[in-house]
Homo-oligomer: A and B are copies of this chain.
Amino acid sequence: MHSLPKLTARHTDPGTYPPGIAFMDGQYLPISEAKISVLDNGFLHSDATYDVAHVWKGAFFRLDDHLNRFFSGMEKLHMSIPFDQAQVTEILHNCVALSGLQNAYVEFICTRGTSPTFSRDPRDAVNRFIAFAIPFGSVANPEQMRRGLHLALTDLIRIPPSSVDPTVKNYHWLDLVKGLYAAYEQGAETGILLDAHGNIAEGPGFNIFAIKDGKISTPAFGVLMGITRQTIFDLAGEMQIDCGAGDIPPGDLKAADEVFVTSTAGGVMPVTKIDGAPIGLGDVGPVTHQITKAYWRMHEDGRFRTPIAYP
């Protein structure tokens, strides 16, 4: 009989983590300490909802919209936390202030948690709230922001709303990750998934917009109701650009004059190639430029800013 290895009392983590501050269990912690048990159903069943807000030049942008979506998602999943929106706002503020980050990616999560009796019944679980602030990230890197993203149209179907409600922001990403690998194989930088009817759905972490003859359109159903997506509707309204949601067949996307994608992680990001072929003239188009400028200008507007009081 071979001898057994020794038991170690405490875990030593060899991982490296970005700078940042997390909140969990009433404690503000370095991000390297923000860990959940492998027994948490937020991990074992991906039974969780979350949201991501961003801080730009020292202020949250449209924080209340993110909080409303988060609280609505928890309700739909039969989850609750011992904090109201004002208290969550304070916690998020504190994470950012303690991190010192002027531009931050601020994620807040509710997991099903574990049951004190180890029951399998989700109603017995104690739901868990976690929040963290790390440096602002983007779907597109600076080079891609300048010359536009190169996308691949995949034949993968986004998890349909009949299975998982896309209005509850969730971590079910295996289809999106498969889309990424499919895109890499085609030499593209990220991928587009379809809905069950073969129309454009969304990509890994972003909504998709097409511009044709001055009119902006984006898929209506089966996609995340992105806050940045909503911001585009708002901006288009102010700029008196026609903007609507409806089915986009793949052919229409490829034949568009301009294409861009949106995410809290990066804002408005131009797309200049799909499946190796140029969109329009192959460079970042005028409407995309105009919308992008307006998007960042909106960040100066007091109506959408929640400033951080740094120490």
Residues of A within 8 A of B (CB): 1-2, 4-18, 21-22, 24-25, 27-39, 42-47, 77-78, 94, 97-98, 107, 109, 112, 114, 116, 118, 120-123, 130, 132, 134-135, 137, 139, 156-160, 162-165, 168, 170-177, 180-181, 184, 196, 205, 309, 311
**A36 in contact with B33 given A120-B139, A137-B120 (CB within 8 Å):** no
Q: Report yes or no: A174 in contact with B47, Cβ–Cβ below 8 A.
A: yes
Determine the chain B residues whose CB is within 8 A of the CB of A39 once the complex forms.
17-18, 31, 34, 134
By beta carbon, the residue of chain B nearest A176 is B45
CA distance A168 to B228 in the complex (A): 33
Number of copies: 2
Q: Report yes or no: A181 in contact with B46, Cβ–Cβ below 8 A.
A: no
Cross-chain pairs A/B with CB under 8 angstroms, 27 sampled = A1-B309, A7-B21, A7-B28, A11-B29, A11-B34, A13-B37, A17-B37, A22-B38, A32-B37, A34-B37, A34-B38, A36-B36, A36-B38, A42-B43, A43-B43, A44-B173, A45-B173, A47-B177, A118-B137, A121-B180, A122-B180, A159-B163, A159-B164, A162-B196, A163-B163, A164-B172, A165-B174
By beta carbon, the residue of chain B nearest A1 is B309
Q: Report yes or no: A46 in contact with B173, Cβ–Cβ below 8 A.
A: yes
Q: Report yes or no: A8 in contact with B29, Cβ–Cβ below 8 A.
A: yes
